[in-house]
Amino acid sequence: MEEGERLRLSFLSKIYGDDFKEAIKQNFDGDIQKTEKYIKDLPDFKHSYQAWYSESLRLIKQLLPDRYQDFIRLYEKPKNRKEVTFESYRIEDALQGLQTKRGIDVIASAESAFPHLEQQIAILSAVQNRFESSLFDIKQLVQADLFDSEIEAARELLKNGFSRGAGAISGVVLEKHLSQVCENHNISIKKKHPTISDFNDKLKQADVIDVPQWRFHQHLADIRNLCGHNKKSEPSTDQVEDLIDGVEKVTKTLY
């Protein structure tokens, strides 16, 4: 269970006491021992929140800076606050055990801060999504840069008369790229050592590519095979150049 969710449950336990205990007991089919152990294992909100808040604040400042001040406002007492109401009550007040009344009616209490905690947890969840997205973007950029370098190397080999080597490198780039496209679209390949044709077929079956694209990829795969496997027939310069240009096009247009 994530720490934010554990804190949320701990806060609910603090706010609702016996009602919270009863709800947890129902989840355990009335088993009192399991219920008490579950509640006992929850972090102490007052002591655990500050560490969670500090660590979360650092993450948000680095990865989601536009929500940094929002995260702080949900915790800190408003500096220009003239009275403590349900709207102006904050998590900091709850940690200090502050409660305000008007006569016998409770105006604001720890319960008032619960929506603020939920918003903080939601912001931190957005940070996680941004982080995962950032890692994905970085991976794609690094891979694209690597492919560009390999395609450039293939062009240099072709220029110096090494047609088979240029075709082999281009084929590897195409295979890696189609593999990544399958991964991007959650397409699984059960074959232990899949080939360009395997990736290509799966992409067509999943409607990621159409028939003309499938045929184009197969054409490139055929040239690659000519470079790597057919020793009786030498690939022409034009064929290898078509392969290199085609692979470059695929890496720039298919994601």
Asked if the model's pLDDT at residue 64 lies above 90, the reply is no
Distance CA 5, CA 1 (A): 7
Q: How confident is the prediction for the chain on average, in pLDDT? A: 88
Question: Do the beta carbons of residue 35 and residue 24 sit within 8 Å?
Answer: yes
Three-class SS state of 100: strand
The average pLDDT across 139-161 equals 84
What pLDDT is recorded for position 231? 64
The average pLDDT across 158-184 equals 91
Tracing tokens 């500050």 back to the chain, one arrives at 50
180-225 pLDDT, tens per residue? 899 888 898 888 889 999 999 999 999 999 999 999 999 999 999 8
Question: Residue 142, exposed/middle/buried by CB under 10 A (0-12, 13-18, 19+)?
Answer: exposed
91-145 pLDDT, tens per residue? 999 999 999 998 888 999 999 999 999 999 999 888 877 766 666 566 666 677 7
Distance CA 126, CA 94 (A): 25
- In this structure, which amino acid lies at residue 11? F
Asked if the model's pLDDT at residue 250 lies above 50, the reply is yes
| Per-residue confidence band for 1, with pLDDT thresholds at 50, 70 and 90 | very low
What pLDDT is recorded for position 111? 92
What pLDDT is recorded for position 119? 94
Give the percent of the chain with pLDDT over 70: 93
| Per-residue confidence band for 58, with pLDDT thresholds at 50, 70 and 90 | confident
Asked if the model's pLDDT at residue 75 lies above 80, the reply is yes
Distance CA 10, CA 44 (A): 7
